[in-house]
């Protein structure tokens, strides 16, 4: 299975710009033979739209979902994208995965909100999301979620071997893409795709450096600081030598009680 990963600037609240970027990405991804395109966190309407987020957020089955579904059908390519979801009086930082026919495969609400700005807008999610993607058990996390090892381990315990992660990681936090995402992948021998924004939005500069990390922690594809579309064939991970992969799930020991000082 081929995966396309978009790294580009935030649409900064301009929905015309956002949907044009999604359309172009799906077209290029489909032409490359990709079955799924991954885009960043809160791409609709844009991550750093603090004052407008609640007003712009849409419900599930609203106009955004309908337009995204239509674009997937038009290009014959799946899409995973972050967006602001309204559910009654609350707003979630959400991500939805569609297949190439525009059907919803999975929907997820960010569990680990980052900082007071996110906490002031969003309600945290309370459940994982898994689904089948071309025969691979797949899950969604969003940005800060993947930095918490216990979430990745919980998904691995559910049999997940691919995690798609829309993110909006700011500049100055390169350790996430350089070290934490590869470590999370290697710890449980799974693949993690981490799609970040780049450039600047309302004074916030994003770090780029999107990555697709394989089960051995090695990069299948990486981005620099600027706009790009990564394409990776995940079938390559099937050829990895099992002796090089982590055995933590087999070897883990849990201590009971407290250790003596």
Cβ of 16: how many Cβ atoms within 10 Å? 8
What digits encode the pLDDT tens for the residues 221-236? 999 999 999 999 998 7
Q: How confident is the model at residue 253 (pLDDT cuts 50, 70, 90)?
A: confident
Share of the chain above pLDDT 70, in %: 98
In a domain, 220, yes or no: yes
Q: Which domain holds residue 131?
A: 2-234
pLDDT of residue 237: 81
What digits encode the pLDDT tens for the residues 161-195? 999 999 999 999 999 999 999 999 999 999 999 99
Average pLDDT over residues 32-39: 98
Which residues are catalytically annotated?
Answer: 41, 110, 143
Domain with residue 7: its CATH number is 3.60.110.10
Q: How confident is the model at residue 77 (pLDDT cuts 50, 70, 90)?
A: very high
Tell me whether residue 3 is exposed, middle or buried, using C-beta atoms within 10 angstroms of its C-beta: 0 to 12, 13 to 18, 19 or more.
buried
Q: How confident is the model at residue 258 (pLDDT cuts 50, 70, 90)?
A: low
In a domain, 257, yes or no: no
pLDDT at 257 over 80: no
Residues 4 and 29: beta-carbon distance below 8 Å: yes
Tell me whether residue 89 is exposed, middle or buried, using C-beta atoms within 10 angstroms of its C-beta: 0 to 12, 13 to 18, 19 or more.
exposed
In a domain, 169, yes or no: yes
pLDDT of residue 260: 59
Weakest-pLDDT range from 146-155, 162-171, 214-223, 234-243: 234-243
Q: How confident is the model at residue 206 (pLDDT cuts 50, 70, 90)?
A: very high
In a domain, 190, yes or no: yes
In a domain, 224, yes or no: yes
In a domain, 214, yes or no: yes
Residues 41 and 142: beta-carbon distance below 8 Å: yes
Buried b / exposed e across 44-64, counting CB within 10 Å, b at 16+?
bbbbbbeeebbebbbeeeeeb
Across the chain, what does the average pLDDT equal?
96
pLDDT of residue 259: 62
Name the domain count of the chain. Answer: 1
In a domain, 182, yes or no: yes
Residues 186 and 179: beta-carbon distance below 8 Å: no
Average pLDDT over residues 70-97: 98
In a domain, 252, yes or no: no
- Structure pTM? 0.96
**What are residue 8's DSSP bridge partners?**
197
Average pLDDT over residues 33-39: 98
């Amino acid at each position: 299975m081929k995966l396309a990963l978009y790294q580009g600037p935030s649409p900064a609240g301009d929905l015309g710009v956002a949907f044009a970027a999604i359309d172009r990405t799906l077209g290029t991804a489909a032409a490359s033979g990709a079955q799924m395109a991954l885009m960043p966190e809160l791409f609709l309407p844009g991550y750093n739209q603090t004052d407008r987020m609640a007003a712009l957020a849409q419900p599930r089955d609203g106009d955004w979902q309908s337009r995204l579904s239509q674009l997937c059908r038009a290009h014959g390519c799946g899409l995973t994208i972050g967006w602001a979801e309204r559910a009654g009086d609350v707003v979630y930082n959400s991500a939805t995965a569609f297949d190439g026919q525009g059907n919803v495969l999975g929907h997820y609400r960010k569990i680990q909100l980052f900082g007071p700005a996110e906490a002031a807008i969003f309600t945290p999610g309370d459940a994982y999301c898994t689904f089948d993607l071309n025969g691979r058990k797949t899950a969604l996390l969003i940005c800060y979620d993947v930095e918490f090892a216990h979430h990745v381990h919980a998904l691995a315990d559910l049999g997940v071997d691919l995690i798609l992660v829309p993110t909006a990681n700011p500049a100055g936090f390169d350790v996430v893409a350089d070290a934490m995402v590869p470590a999370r992948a290697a710890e449980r021998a799974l693949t993690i795709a981490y799609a970040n924004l780049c450039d600047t939005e309302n004074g916030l500069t994003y770090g780029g450096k999107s990555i697709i990390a394989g089960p051995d922690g090695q990069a299948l594809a990486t981005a620099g600081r600027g706009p790009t579309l990564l394409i990776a064939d995940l079938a390559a991970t099937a050829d990895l030598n099992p002796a090089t992969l982590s055995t933590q799930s087999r070897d883990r020991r849990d201590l009971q009680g407290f250790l003596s000082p």
